[in-house]
Structure 1
Amino acid sequence: MSRWSGTWLSGAGSAMEPREGDPRWRGDGLGLPERGPGSVAGTGARLVAFLVDLVLASLATSLFVDRDFEDPASLWTFNLVAVGVWLVITAVGVSLAGFTPGKLLLGLRVVRMDGASMVGPLRALPRALLAGLIIPAAIWDRDGRGFHDRLTGTIELRYR
């Protein structure tokens, strides 16, 4: 017999206890393996791939934009262009190949949930814009899909 009060009277930790039907690992609810190729990419690997792409965008920007760190306008211009370069790297890479240089380095790939072969620009651009806001990418569900992935019908998986 279940209590009418639910889990809130049992303490905060009781809500985290596994229940029947809960996924056992990230991606279990989607029929994905627990680890190895085809499993949901881990948060640490996603973060490192994101940082690699940011560094590459900054390096590419420094080749074309003069920056003076003492001049606030120059710094703002540099940062704005670097974000734009990151957005292009991310949207084009995910749209055409399913990965960015950082994702490729870490063995990650973005795929569509419906099984189509390419993510395409109509999903990749909004996904990149949302990931750039950080918050949607930091919120994920039990299957490990970020909010930006849920909104665009994609998921980030390991491919090796």
Structure 2
Amino acid sequence: MARWIESWMPGSGTGSMGRGGEGHPGQRFGLPAEGVSSVAGFGRRLAALVVDWLLGYLIAVLVLGSDEIGGPNLPWAVLGIWFLLTAIPVAVFGASAGMTLLGIRVASIDSAAVIGVPRALLRTALIALIVPPLVRDSDGRGWHDRAVRSIVVRTRA
């Protein structure tokens, strides 16, 4: 039986594969169990987010000056810069700097090469809300990935 969230959350249903079934994460999308193009683990995804956030923090401090450290404007500047550093590269290339460093990328579950600008903006906005990435399905897809019909895969073993 499908979970109640699937009735209003776009994306694929959980089906019979996943934690309780015989399948592996991403199997319903035709992804391998391990190696390149397999579903990226939570640790890699979190590490990529941290790299992107630190890069945004560094750029914000360089732009605003070190006097702003601890000030009220710095967190908003970091958020805005992180948003741009994440959404634009994901829309165009499928990966941010942190994702590229960690060997992962955002893949569309349909036939598109990249998810494009509107979906990347929505995905990044939902990540900024913190909760959507933490609520994940059996394929490791958070609400942000389900909403834009994407999945994060490995680009190297």
TM-score between the two structures when normalised by the length of structure 2: 0.82
Identify which range, 90-99 or 24-33, moves more after superposition: 24-33
Q: Distance in 2 between matches of 1:154 and 1:30?
A: 10
Q: What is residue 81 of structure 2 aligned with on the other side?
A: 85
Q: What is residue 148 of structure 1 aligned with on the other side?
A: 144
> How far does residue 118 in structure 1 lie from its aligned partner after superposition?
2.1
> How far does residue 122 in structure 1 lie from its aligned partner after superposition?
0.9
- Cα RMSD of the aligned pairs, angstroms, is 1.4
Note if contact 1:28-1:34 (Cα within 8 Å) is conserved in structure 2.
Answer: yes
Relative contact order higher in (CA < 8 Å, ≥ 6 apart): 2
Give the direction of change, closer, same or farther, for the CA distance of 1:87–1:150 in structure 2 (3 Å limit): same
* Residues 88-110 of structure 1 deviation map (CA, whole Å, 9 limit, x = unaligned): 01110100000000000011010
Q: State the aligned residue count.
A: 137
Pairing 1:1-160 to 2, within 5 Å after superposition: 22-66=21-65, 67-69=67-69, 75-160=71-156
Q: Distance in 1 between matches of 2:116 and 2:42?
A: 24
AA in 2 matched with 1:154: S
Provide the identity percentage.
38
Note if contact 1:30-1:143 (Cα within 8 Å) is conserved in structure 2.
Answer: no
Note if contact 1:140-1:147 (Cα within 8 Å) is conserved in structure 2.
Answer: yes
Q: Distance in 1 between matches of 2:155 and 2:133?
A: 20
Structure 1 stretches (4+) deviating beyond 6 angstroms? none
Point out the structure with max Rg over C-alpha: 1
5+ unaligned residues in a row in structure 1: which ranges?
A: 1-17
* Residues 44-66 of structure 1 deviation map (CA, whole Å, 9 limit, x = unaligned): 00000000000000001111113
Note if contact 1:112-1:153 (Cα within 8 Å) is conserved in structure 2.
Answer: yes
